[in-house]
Structure 1
Amino acid sequence: MATQVDNSASTGAGRVAPPSFWSGVWQNHAPGYLFLLPWLIGFLGLTIGPILTSFYLSFTHFDLLTAPRWAGLDNYMRMFTNDPKFVASMRVTFTFVIFSVPLKLAFALGVALLLNRGMRGLSIYRALFYLPSLLGASVAIAILWRQIFAGNGLVNQLLANFGIQGPSWISNPNTSLWTLIILAVWQFGSPMIIFLAGLRQIPQDMYEAASLDGASKWRQFWKITLPMLTPVVFFNAIIQTIEAFKSFTPSFIISGGTGGPINSTLFYTLYLYNEAFGFFRMGYASALAWVLLAIVAAFTAFSFLTSKFWVHYDD
């Protein structure tokens, strides 16, 4: 009996315990995690960390010089009830988005349709049309745009040849925002390239069948081209709307950082920048940033919810 117990004890002692689940995962994926470690450190330290810090600061009064003081919902209450500049910046930003995004997409689609005809030197035209998208957000282009639409700028010099006395487009509150909208539309290269790629994916036999049935070019566009391009339109609309809400450099350079005249070019991002780095109201600027995030998120969610009614995929 004692011998059996000793044998069983020795047999149990010789067994190797099976590895735990997490140790098995680590052994199988350790090299991958090590390669991901620099990105994870950057993501947690440079993205998630600042986001959580900003969310906390939005409930405080913080001026960069003293420690944050808890303020609860004061920043948000002031924003929605007692801040005329917030209302002005929202009005300017939504006007900019509502007009610039559809005009840019329409212009980009029109150019893409022209380039899709198989003209010679397509790669050269494509690069030339894409160039404004690379340069449009730069400080140099914003300075050039300010000179073009100044009182003695190129636009007024051209109008003077026809006997028309043009205003100072930048200094006039009725036209200053439209100069920025034109600048945004001029940067149509990025959606144009995407539209052109989408046009190349439409089967040509659909157009041939429509031509045999007597459909005009205009009817082919509305019944074939546009429905088949709706996924591309959906993608471009979301990307360009987010970029429009984030627009900052043109307004900052052309208005001199003031958003003038009479707050007519006071973009939301410019107002946020002035509150943060002009008046050092970091807590209030953080609250402004989170409201902008909520607006963009709401628009994106609405776009995805309504896409099932007008975006047509292969099925």
Structure 2
Amino acid sequence: MPRSDSCASRRSGVHREERPARDARSEGGTVSTTTAKPRMTKLQRREAIAGYLFISPWIVGFLVFTLGAMVYSLVISFSHYQLATDTARPAGFSNYQALVEDPKVMTALANTLYYAVLAVPLEVLLALGLALLLNSQRRGAGLFRTIFYLPKMTPVVATASVFLLLLNGSQGAINRGLAAIGIDGPQWLLDPAWIKPSIVLMTLWGVAGTMVIFLAALQNVPTDLYEAASLDGAGAFRRFWNVTLPMISPAIFFNVLVLTIAAFQIFDQAFLLFHRDTVQGSSDASLFYAIYLFQQAFRQFNFGFAAAMAWLLFLIILVISLIQMRVGNRFVYYESEEAR
């Protein structure tokens, strides 16, 4: 009995001693589980410093040449800034008001939108078709992939010179080929209705970059999905529609987004074909937004108006990209989300 009493008293004493601690925890509401972060070791600090030093050229370049330039352009968009006289006078919103009143701005926007609607789907379809053709492990597949990628490596100036010869209305190779099958070719570089399609043809010449992205996506599609679809009796089209397209939908969405942004900034092809001093063409039909911005900035030296044009283009691309992301995410299949 004495032993049991002493054991009971010790147990009750333990409980009495533990109860205040439990009550204290319960009174506090929640128990703090935060712990002090371990301090970085000397080696970790040295590695962190080395990492920041390695990326410091990019950081400085971004702050000075990208972010700094954007902030500066936003400031001068609210001023009358002439490079020739090196003077800047506050202008308020007059530059943005001039954008609405200038008919050439609307013409350039309409041309750019027309080009984007025409070029982006054609680039996606052509790149996807080439990727499907090259998605083979047969002998010589690597050689053909290299050959199809070579046009992407051609400088834009050289490409424009070639297309000036190809698209010549009377002596061009394209019109000669059409004449051989009894078709009268158009005046690609003179007819306003064919100027933008001619620029699209030149753009399609460099579609290999998009093709490579599609090719990488196609090679990541699991083969067992095709085998399962074949066992279920799916034909080639059904396998493409129900297996290939859903699995490469992230690549399709990415390419559409990037190509749309690039289409609204079209400059090189139109400038080299139609807006050099030695080239005569229909200026209104080939006047894209970036071309008119360039003319205002570096020919008229109206940098305030050009900066306002640049920010209007930035807002347009931002809105279109947000709409594409909102709509596209409903149709894009991500394996990581399926796993979660």
Taking structure 1 as the reference length, what is the TM-score of the superposition? 0.86
2:92 aligned partner: 72
Go from structure 1 to structure 2 and tell me whether the alpha carbon gap of 1:217 and 1:162 turns closer, same or farther (over 3 Å shift). closer
User: In the alignment, which residue of structure 2 is the partner of 1:161?
Assistant: 180
2:63 to 11, 20, 44: 44
Question: Which stretch has the larger CA shift, 126-135 or 256-265?
Answer: 256-265
Change (3 A) 1:236 1:296: same
Task: Pick closer, same or farther for the CA change 1:33–1:228 going to 2, 3 Å.
Answer: closer
Equivalent residue of 1:175, what SS? Answer: helix
Which amino acid in the other structure matches residue 277 of structure 1? F
In the alignment, structure 1 residue 269 sits paired with structure 2 residue 290:
yes
Q: How does 1:95-106 map to 2 (within 5 A)?
A: 95-106=114-125
Question: Is residue 290 of structure 1 aligned with residue 311 of structure 2?
Answer: yes
Shift of 1:131: 1.8
C-alpha offsets along residues 173-194 of structure 1, whole Å, 9 cap, x if unaligned?
0111101111212222111111
Aligned to 2:330: 309
The answer for unaligned runs of 5 or more in structure 2 is: 1-38
Give me the whole-angstrom Cα distance separating, in 2, the residues matched to 1:31 and 1:254: 47
Aligned to 1:177: 196
* Residues 99-155 of structure 1, C-alpha deviations (whole Å, 9 max, x = no match): 1111111111111111113332111111111122232x6111112112211122112
Give yes or no for the alignment of 1:230 onto 2:229. no
Write the mapping of 1:128-207 to structure 2, written as runs, cut at 5 A. 128-135=147-154, 138-151=156-169, 152-207=171-226
The one-letter code sitting in structure 2 at the alignment partner of 1:292 is L
Deviation at 1:200?
0.9
Instruction: Tell whether the 8 Å contact from 2:108 to 2:287 is kept in structure 1 after alignment.
Output: yes
Change (3 A) 1:69 1:257: farther
Per mean C-alpha deviation after superposition, the further-off stretch among 259-268 and 196-205 is: 259-268
User: AA paired with 2:68?
Assistant: G
Map 1:109-124 to 2 at 5 A. Answer: 109-124=128-143
Residue 39 to residue 159, structure 1, CA distance change in 2 (3 Å)? closer
**How has the CA–CA distance of structure 1 residues 61 and 157 changed in structure 2, closer, same or farther, with 3 Å as cutoff?**
same
Tell me by how many angstroms 1:282 deviates.
0.7
**1:258-278 deviation per Cα after TM superposition (whole angstroms, max 9, x unaligned):** 894151111111111011111
Structure 2 partner of 1:5: none
Name the larger-Rg structure.
2
Amino acid at match of 2:93: L
Change (3 A) 1:226 1:27: closer
**In 2, distance between residues paired with 1:222 and 1:55?**
46
| 1:62 to partner: Cα distance | 1.0
Q: 1:252, 1:62 → 2: CA distance? A: 25
Query: Could you say which residue in structure 2 is the equivalent of 1:249?
Result: 268
RMSD of the TM alignment (CA)?
A: 2.1
Looking at structure 1, the residues matched to 295 and 276 of structure 2 have their Cα atoms a distance apart, in angstroms, of: 8
- Provide the secondary structure at the position in 2 that maps to 1:62: strand
- 2:274/2:283 contact within 8 Å kept: no
CA distance in 2 between counterparts of 1:36 and 1:116 reads: 37
AA of the residue aligned to 1:39: W
SS in 1 for 2:138: coil
Q: Distance in 2 between matches of 1:94 and 1:199?
A: 30
The 2-side partners of 1:173 and 1:155 are apart by 18
Q: Decide whether the 8 Å contact of 2:246 with 2:332 is kept in 1.
A: yes
Residue 247 of structure 1, CA deviation: 1.7
Amino acid at match of 1:293: F
Counterpart amino acid of residue 182 in structure 1: L
2:234 is aligned, of 215, 223, 241, to 215
TM superposition shift of 1:163: 4.4
- Unmatched 5+ stretches in structure 1: 1-20
Aligned position for 1:89: 108
Q: Between Structure 1 and Structure 2, how many residues are aligned?
A: 290
**Percent of residue pairs identical:** 38
Instruction: Tell me the TM-score normalised to structure 2 length.
Output: 0.80
Contact kept in structure 2, 1:257 and 1:270, CA below 8 Å: no
For the residues of structure 2 that align with 1:240 and 1:197, how far apart are their CA atoms? 17
- Which amino acid in the other structure matches residue 170 of structure 1? L
The amino acid across from 1:147 in the alignment is L
Q: Which residue of 2 aligns with 1:6?
A: none
Aligned-pair distance for 1:27?
Answer: 6.2
Output the CA distance in 2 between the equivalents of 1:71 and 1:213: 69
Q: Distance in 2 between matches of 1:290 and 1:39?
A: 24
